[in-house]
């Protein structure tokens, strides 16, 4: 054949059953070839047929989905292009105009923004509750027969609030309300909300699961596969599917997740205690710190405090902003959950969608500094924090 034909139709080297690769093969293909027209047509029927087109399913992405379902103790999972892809996909798939959502007041800003948008543009009622009181949730949910979803975060970003998961998830089950828990900050190493009664767990896999600040991704894990079957067609329409290479990188990160989580938790716990002992630090928010309002619950539902902490400085907003510009080992950057320590100012970044009142209601002070503790040596991080605090005062 002509070189132009030979260049396009490269040799197909499918791995043999013996001598196969140890790592999951990266199937970087948008479409899949068939021998029969009927075979291709039949494969379009649902999410589990042969692979047809990577927006509908891909072997590398499916490997990630099965791994995540296994880690969270779910029946099945769907991977997305980002955490927001997963959250928007689940909300858009399950809600109809006139439905009600009950959500925890302190939520990631992006989730809060989608809920506000759904409420304004599609007539979905959103009612916020503290997350600490099942009776308050039952009141908010029970007032409408159209209450469809309960939305929570295992560890709220950035206040470290741990909602009463057993109480709230139990109440949602009793009322027939589907519960969605964002488990990005805890990861399945520290908490598995499906085991506590949640119906759907969502993740920004960008964070701890992938863990190296080099890839965006999201996922939804379902307690019951019927929910995946309901969500899948909408996500195919939305097109926020995971790219195979992103899924491959995420799988590589997951291999070290338990080891990294141990280091994140150990470092954050030490820094939270040292920060709390400084006179120029007026508050430290870390759920594993005795005195944090969620401490008793955190000890019950988590197996570690996680890697995210936040704190307030006596000098308020100005001191907080000065601090994040003065750190040297830690970097001033958005995101969290990577191997490197990052600092941000939530009120002007991740939670900018919340107005002043919503910020206050969510417990986010104007000068709050958020720190995602990486896996560096904790004493190097502490020296860095001390010099930045001394210069920010
Ligand atoms: C708790 C939480 N959920 C969801 C997201 C959104 O994830 P992504 O940035 O991957 O879309 C974030 C991002 O910061 C987050 O912190």
CATH number at residue 355: 3.90.1150.10
Mean pLDDT of 374-380: 98
Q: Is 182 a catalytic residue?
A: yes
> Does pLDDT of 379 surpass 80?
yes
CATH number of domain containing 232: 3.40.640.10
Q: Is 12 a catalytic residue?
A: no
Structural domains counted in the chain: 2
pTM of the prediction?
0.96
- For residues 226 and 278, state if they share a domain: no
Domain boundary among 254, 279, 313: 254
* pLDDT tens string 44-84: 988 998 999 999 999 999 999 999 999 999 999 999 999 99
21: in domain: no
- For residues 136 and 216, state if they share a domain: yes
Q: Whose CA is nearest to atom 9 of ligand 1?
A: 83
Mean pLDDT of 174-192: 98
Mean pLDDT of 118-124: 96
Confidence of residue 279 (pLDDT cuts 50, 70, 90): very high
14: in domain: no
> What is the pLDDT of the chain when averaged over all its residues?
95
From residue 347, alpha-carbon distances to 168, 239, 358 in Å are 28, 31, 11
- For residues 276 and 246, state if they share a domain: no
Domain boundary among 254, 289, 316: 254
Q: Domain range spanning residue 104?
A: 37-254
Q: Is 357 a catalytic residue?
A: no
From residue 213, alpha-carbon distances to 32, 149, 183 in Å are 31, 31, 18
Q: Is 173 a catalytic residue?
A: no
- For residues 109 and 232, state if they share a domain: yes
What is the CA(42)–ligand 1 centre distance, in A? 36
Q: Are 193 and 154 in contact (CB under 8 A)?
A: yes
* pLDDT tens string 310-343: 999 998 888 999 999 999 999 999 999 999 999 9
> Does pLDDT of 353 surpass 80?
no
- For residues 249 and 263, state if they share a domain: no
- For residues 240 and 288, state if they share a domain: no
Mean pLDDT of 221-231: 98
- For residues 143 and 69, state if they share a domain: yes
Q: Whose CA is nearest to atom 15 of ligand 1?
A: 108
- Using CA atoms, how far apart are residues 267 and 329, in angstroms rounded to an integer? 14
Pocket test for ligand 1, best of 110, 156, 306 (most atoms within 8 A of CB): 110
- For residues 302 and 368, state if they share a domain: yes
Side-chain half-sphere of 247: how many Cα atoms within 13 Å? 30
Instruction: Tell me which residue has tokens 């986010």.
Output: 364
Pocket test for ligand 1, best of 81, 206, 209, 354 (most atoms within 8 A of CB): 206
pLDDT of residue 255: 97
């Amino acid at each position: 054949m002509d070189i132009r034909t030979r260049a396009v139709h490269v040799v197909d080297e499918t791995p043999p059953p013996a001598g196969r690769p140890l790592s999951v093969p990266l199937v970087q293909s948008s479409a899949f070839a068939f021998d029969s027209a009927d075979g291709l047509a039949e494969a379009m029927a649902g999410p589990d047929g042969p692979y047809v087109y990577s927006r509908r399913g891909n072997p590398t992405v499916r490997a990630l989905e099965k791994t995540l379902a296994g880690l969270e103790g779910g029946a099945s999972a769907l991977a997305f292009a980002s955490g927001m892809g997963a959250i928007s996909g689940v909300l858009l798939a399950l809600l109809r105009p006139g439905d009600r959502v009950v959500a925890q007041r302190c939520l990631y800003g992006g989730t809060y923004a989608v809920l506000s948008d759904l409420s304004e543009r599609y007539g979905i009622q959103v009612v916020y509750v503290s997350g600490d009181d099942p009776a308050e949730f039952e009141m908010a949910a029970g007032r409408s027969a159209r209450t469809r979803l309960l939305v929570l975060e295992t560890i709220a970003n950035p206040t470290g609030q741990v909602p009463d998961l057993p109480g709230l998830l139990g109440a949602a089950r009793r009322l027939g309300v589907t519960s969605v828990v964002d488990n990005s900050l805890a990861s399945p190493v520290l908490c598995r909300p499906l085991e506590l009664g949640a119906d759907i767990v969502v993740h920004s896999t960008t964070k701890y699961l992938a863990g190296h600040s080099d890839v965006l991704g999201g996922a939804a894990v379902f307690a019951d596969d019927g929910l995946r079957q309901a969500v899948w067609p909408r996500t195919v329409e939305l097109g926020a599917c995971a790219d195979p290479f992103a899924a491959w990188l995420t799988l590589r990160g997951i291999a070290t997740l338990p080891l990294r989580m141990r280091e994140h938790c150990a470092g954050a716990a030490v820094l939270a205690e040292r920060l709390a002992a400084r006179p120029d630090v007026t508050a430290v928010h870390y759920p594993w710190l005795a005195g944090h309002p969620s401490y008793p619950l955190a000890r019950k539902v988590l197996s570690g405090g996680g890697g995210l902490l936040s704190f307030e400085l006596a000098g308020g907003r100005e001191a907080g902003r000065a601090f994040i510009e003065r750190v040297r080992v830690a970097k001033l950057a958005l995101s969290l959950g990577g191997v490197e320590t990052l600092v941000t100012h939530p009120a002007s970044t991740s939670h900018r969608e919340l107005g002043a009142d919503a910020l206050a209601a969510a417990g986010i002070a104007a000068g709050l500094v958020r720190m995602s503790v990486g896996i560096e040596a904790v004493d190097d991080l502490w020296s860095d924090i001390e010099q930045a605090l001394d210069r920010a005062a």
